[in-house]
Amino acid sequence: MSSTEEGARPVGTLPPEVTATWHFERNADSGLDPMTVPPSSPIEVWWKCAQGHEWIDRISTRTSLPKWKNGDVGACRECTGYRVRHTYPGCGHTEMITTNAAGKGHQRCWPCQNAWWKANEGRLKAELGAAARGFAGRAREMLDDIDVEQEAPAPLVAEWRWWAAKHLQGALAAEQIMDKTGRVDQVLGMISERAQHLVPTKAEAGRAAATDGVINVVGRGHWAQGWLHHLTGRSPRPAPTEEVDQAAERFRAWLTGWVRAAVADHEVEDGAYSTARLTTALTRQISAWADEFYPAELGQARVWRELGLPVLPPGAQRYGRLDVVLWHPVFVTVVVEIDSAPNRSSAAKLAFARDAGALPLWVRFGKGSVEGPEGVSVVDLRQELAPIHQGR
């Protein structure tokens, strides 16, 4: 039978099972004919199944054959149970959603939830952050009750605790502030599972750290960051005092020279630099120091900004971040904190870097004392930057 004979379906029209669900009444003003419309058309039209369920969908989606249709191209999502009609208690809107989505207990549909979040974002972030910090002690107690793989290297366990505590603190805050019931149980299940599968092994961690200076232990590179001895358990090998002093003096001379040149080139109409602007400029310039400090022929240097610490300092409620870390597979790691006013947190982080065998440098350019912890070199730029610093 040719395609032109009576009873044959013209080429390019919809499958008969799909045509049978075409909602002729609602689509009357569309100007479309299910016998001639292209199956790949992205146009949205109304559909109606034999059970009376009505919905809007693209023609191209309707003619596709995903798994949920079970081989029936004309299947209805609601009849197959793939979608259910769900009314959100918070906003009162009714939508067709998957059974999994309906079981999550969301109070509002996505458009309403998105609008609500935008209206409350600033307040909620502040409240969530404050609550999370307050739950630091509770998170540590909960982690103590989780069994960790006995053969896992101690440094990796410390890294896991850092990652797990962050998630626990966030979950506890979400339950308190946003009424996300069950969030803590969900996170506990996730981190408990990871505790039994801590990877890589000590040897793998050592190879990764020696090659890159940073590893990704459970698919979250933002927390598995540290120095070689934190990942392998090796004791740090502090650089000789003379070598550290020479490196610190070299850095001080290099950075001071750049600052003086920048001040000399500064035009009055440019205005004074704010503390934030100076911090950004110094961070950018210090990050480039790796090219000056580390010989490229002896290995590739790497630079991190805002590098997360793998341990929680005693008595602290939040995990610190190091402003700039310059790493090299051969030479000493350089850690730089940049501050205007005195900052006890920076002093503690630099002391941590010192104890880890790194070269800690504290760049200061504003008011207040510039004395650092023992073994921490201070680079005082107050005098050099005074002519252009807005906060002097």
Report the C-alpha gap between 168 and 161 in whole angstroms.
10
Q: Which residue has the tokens 């307050």?
A: 134
For the chain, first and last CA: distance in Å?
Answer: 91
pLDDT in tens, 103-123: 877 888 989 988 988 898 889
154 lies in the same domain as 79: no
Nearest to 159 by CA among 236, 220, 234, 235: 220
pLDDT in tens, 62-81: 999 888 888 999 999 889 88
The least confident of 247-256, 286-295, 334-343 is 286-295
Within a domain: 64: yes
Nearest to 51 by CA among 8, 90, 81, 14: 81
84 lies in the same domain as 142: no
DSSP-based helix, strand, coil % in the chain, nearest 5:
45, 15, 40
Report the C-alpha gap between 376 and 23 in whole angstroms.
76
290 lies in the same domain as 195: no
302 lies in the same domain as 338: yes
pLDDT in tens, 165-203: 888 999 999 998 888 888 899 999 988 887 877 655 555
Within a domain: 108: no
pLDDT in tens, 315-366: 555 667 788 888 777 777 788 999 888 888 888 888 877 776 778 889 888 8
Within a domain: 291: yes
380 lies in the same domain as 249: yes
Q: Where are the beta strands (DSSP E) in 44-127?
A: 44-48, 54-58, 83-87, 94-98
Within a domain: 234: no
- Please check whether residue 139 is in contact with residue 191, taking contact to mean a CB–CB distance below 8 angstroms: no
C-alpha distances out from residue 307 to 121, 249, 312, 324, Å: 26, 24, 14, 7
Q: How many distinct structural domains can be found in the chain?
A: 3
289 or 231: which leads in pLDDT = 289
Nearest to 376 by CA among 350, 344, 345: 350
Quote the pLDDT of residue 75. Answer: 93
Mean local confidence (pLDDT), 260-282: 81
221 lies in the same domain as 337: no
Within a domain: 121: no
Within a domain: 111: no
The whole domain housing 174 covers 135-229
In single-letter form, the type of residue at position 153 comes to P
- Boundary of a domain, candidates 181, 207, 229: 229
- Please check whether residue 339 is in contact with residue 364, taking contact to mean a CB–CB distance below 8 angstroms: yes
Nearest to 293 by CA among 373, 383, 224, 361: 361
What's the length of the chain?
392
- Boundary of a domain, candidates 79, 102, 125: 102
- Please check whether residue 234 is in contact with residue 228, taking contact to mean a CB–CB distance below 8 angstroms: yes
On the question of pLDDT at 387 being above 80, the answer is yes
Quote the pLDDT of residue 312. Answer: 52
- Boundary of a domain, candidates 229, 251, 268: 229
Report the C-alpha gap between 370 and 314 in whole angstroms.
24
- CA R_g for the chain: 31
Quote the pLDDT of residue 206. Answer: 54
Quote the pLDDT of residue 47. Answer: 94
Query: Is 385 in a helix, a strand, or coil?
Result: helix
Q: Which residue has the tokens 């070689």?
A: 228
- Please check whether residue 218 is in contact with residue 207, taking contact to mean a CB–CB distance below 8 angstroms: no
367 lies in the same domain as 247: yes
Within a domain: 150: yes
Quote the pLDDT of residue 219. Answer: 32
Within a domain: 283: yes
Q: Which residue has the tokens 């969030």?
A: 183
248 lies in the same domain as 379: yes
246 lies in the same domain as 278: yes
162 lies in the same domain as 257: no
25 lies in the same domain as 97: yes
74 lies in the same domain as 40: yes
pLDDT in tens, 201-249: 555 555 554 554 433 333 333 333 444 444 444 455 556 677 777 888 8
Backbone angles phi, psi at 33, to 5 degrees: -120, 120
Helix (H) or strand (E) holding 380: strand 377-380
Report the C-alpha gap between 263 and 265 in whole angstroms.
5
